[in-house]
Amino acid sequence: MRLTRLFLIIISFCFLSCKNSNDDNKIKIIDKSIRSIIDQEAEIEVIADSFFVSEGPLWDEKIKSLLFTDVAQNKIFKWNKDTGVEEYIVPSGYTAYAPNFEEGLIGANGITFNDNGRLVVCQHGDRRLAVIENIGTKTPSFTTLVDNYMGMRFNSPNDLAISQNGDVYFTDPPYGFFDIASQSFNNKYKELDYSGVYKLSSTGDLSLISNEMTLPNGIALTLDEKFLFVNNSDADNPVIMRFNVATNKGELFFDGTELSKQFEGGFDGLKVHSSGNIFTSGPNGILIISPKGELKATIDLGGGVTNCAFDTNEENLFVTGFSKVYKIQLN
């Protein structure tokens, strides 16, 4: 019941996002020190729209383009200022590799480049982490990195972060089991009885960091890679957890309960800026939080958003917001 209610809330966020015009966007500075990164008058631009569940923004410096997924359409899109939006990789997250609902949220979600410049994807439908061997195609070739824990298939790998030595950290909530046709979650294919946070080491060893978060979602490493931030997208427990990479010990980093009482939206994807500040989706848009867990600024996008990413020099912040994709100018 909790997951069904959460999805209905997510859909309402999408409708709110569609209804709000760019004129309604606003940036609230709480701590003036953040003005070195973003101004209250920073330009906010809608660069793409008419999606279902846009996610996984990733800047590709080689082609000067933003890549992003649509989890419902099973596609990866590409945007740049010269050519606009184009389909880039189809399919993205479901190829019938694993049993799942063909009418569900089965596309790729989080994506990133590894140290070899290859595109690594979290595939909801195929229930695995995979590398795309060829990009910019409608006949992609996928190589599996990992698809199970102790012999049991993952739920639907959602988001990932890769350390400098090649360790892959990822989350595995059950969103891929949402059947759009019946508008409900179905556990028919579920094998694990929890939602996990995992580490796939560069040597190929898989370990469980935590099985105690209800809906682990966005994930990011601190700049020194000693800690791991994980968003919990559960509307009943909207928090950001911080895990010690060496010990796997988790602690509460940021509690969004009060904000959630005031605004629509919840914790989904997040990224760490070179300043150490955390940019995360949250109630009413994007929250900017200091490394000490202090709220520094908010970017009001009129409702819930899914994820965010920076371009190479952090001149712009890109935000996926269900139906829309935004570009926000940074300093």
In this prediction, residue 117 carries a pLDDT of: 92
In this prediction, residue 103 carries a pLDDT of: 84
Q: Report residue 309 as tokens.
A: 């990413």
In this prediction, residue 302 carries a pLDDT of: 83
**CA separation for the pair 246, 227 (Å, rounded):** 8
Evaluate whether 126 touches 94 at the Cβ level (below 8 Å). yes
Which residue ranges of the chain lie beneath pLDDT 70?
A: 1-25
Facing residues of 295 across strands? 289
290 closest CA partner among 242, 232, 326, 233: 242
In this prediction, residue 6 carries a pLDDT of: 46
Evaluate whether 321 touches 306 at the Cβ level (below 8 Å). yes
In this prediction, residue 131 carries a pLDDT of: 98
Facing residues of 68 across strands? 77
Evaluate whether 304 touches 16 at the Cβ level (below 8 Å). yes
Range of the domain at 248: 2-329
Q: What angle do CA 319, 167, 149 make, to 5 degrees?
A: 95
In this prediction, residue 102 carries a pLDDT of: 86
**CA separation for the pair 68, 46 (Å, rounded):** 14
User: Count of domains in the chain?
Assistant: 1
In this prediction, residue 21 carries a pLDDT of: 38
Q: Cα-flanking dihedrals φ and ψ of residue 83, to 5°?
A: -110, -5
In this prediction, residue 65 carries a pLDDT of: 98
- Give the strand order in the sheet containing 128-132: 108-113, 119-123, 128-132, 142-146
Q: What's the gap between Cα 38 and its chain centre?
A: 22
Kindly report the pTM of this predicted structure.
0.91
CATH code (residue 162): 2.120.10.30
